[in-house]
Chain A
Amino acid sequence: MNDRTIWEKMMQVDRRVIYLIVAIVMIVPIIFPFDLPIKISKRTTLKLFNAIEKFPEQRSVFFISADLNPQDQPELYPMLVSWIRHCFHRKIKVLVMCLYPTSLGLAEQALNQVSTEFNNRASQGIGRRIVYGEDYVFLGYKPPPIVPILGLGENIFDVFPRDFYGNELKDYSTLPMMENIKNYRDMDMIGSIAANTLPVTYIAYAQARYGIAVTGGVTAVSVADFYPYLDSGQLTGMLEGMKGAAEYEGLIRETFPEEDGRRLATEGMSAQSTTHLAIILMVVLGNVCFFMQRRHESRRG
């Protein structure tokens, strides 16, 4: 047992030591945050931001399919909040739908959070008030995914006779923005926030058939699956995990100086960087230990 080399000992280190190291390098920057420059990705984040910036004010509609679950919340929730903030700043109407039941609570929370932020600022004389039915409508949940995706291309009132709160969608006195929205032709873009391949489903069923622009907000683990659709122009930009969300938060803060809402993704970016650095060092160290041990064994015969 005592014959073990330092390399061998390091390769057999208890996994809990690794967890502890990762926890420390993650927690320290959270408690003592420091700013690191966040480079904006041109072909993903900036492309999407610029596309939304080009929407005409007042009459544009951004349709968000908010299909995030509690387990994806740290990555996807900041994206949803950022998109809603951006649309409200630009006076773009927002329609939100969920294709999974567990997404409802998070989608409603994001809408309430951002509208409260705007209304609090408006009460101090900064910016404008956000009114449900005029600036946004929460459609609620409708399964199974392909059926509402196709149905919305024909007639939104058939798919959602009522909104999430039970208001008749055709009751234009309560939901005046719905007067000019009948199907995808009246919307400018679909934004699909999901931890699975739902953005591709929107490309296949909504874009291919009805020609509407589609963008995605996806978890980092699934980003690689969407690059081909980005290169082919089927996706108009994309947000890639927590980093993409932090980039978008930065762009909004830069463009709209009055925006003072909490930047959830940016808060985690310094921890993200230190943890990545630690993991890279551990991967390098693991490889060094492996090769040194092999060299030691070959010398010993």
Chain B
Amino acid sequence: MSGFFKSSIGRKVSMALSAFFLMFFLLQHLSINILSVLSPETFNEVSHFMGTNPLVQFVLQPVLIFAVVFHFVMGFVLELRNSSARKISYAKNNGAGNSTWMSRNMIWSGITILAFIGLHFIDFWFPEINTKFIQGDWSGTMEGIQGFRYHEELVHKFINPARVAAYVVAFVLLGLHLAHGFTSAFQSMGGTAGRKKTLQTIGKVYSIIIPAGFIFIALYHHFKH
């Protein structure tokens, strides 16, 4: 079995498996974040549950970090191998004549998402680690704020228009990444035969809803503030 994951197809399958996990994560992330618009109290309660539940914190969070790191590292490894498979480029190449921009530029949309994850770590993850694991404060509260702190922190993040602009750009690129990645993951798993059109439709809907939802949340809080 280890030989399988060293093969070109095995590597693609491992990319697809990590992609499935990340796509499921995005869906649940959006479902929780949209609560910040619909019901701040529910958002606070769900956020506190996610931020303090041992299963989420000590099992799912490490799996998520592994999946993110693996997906990026394997993406770069495959890109390097693919580049070395053509040492001399064509003088004239009409890539747009036979494939989509998204499919040819997964590495660039991926690098943009990586940069966004860097920003997201600075904004959210590092402060959370500091509060919970270094200061040992698992209360979910903050001085000067009644109840849980999560909604207030989220709203505060979207005051800065530069951050909102970065969110919009990153999520547009995420949408393009997903527009190809969704069906591509199923194809790598050998699953599109006979169901291609259905998967393409679901992929299109998914790759629009996910970024549009996150962009809506950022713009909503920015302009409501």
A binds B: no
User: Which B residues are closer than 8 A to A by beta carbons?
Assistant: none
Interface residues of A (CB under 8 A from B): none
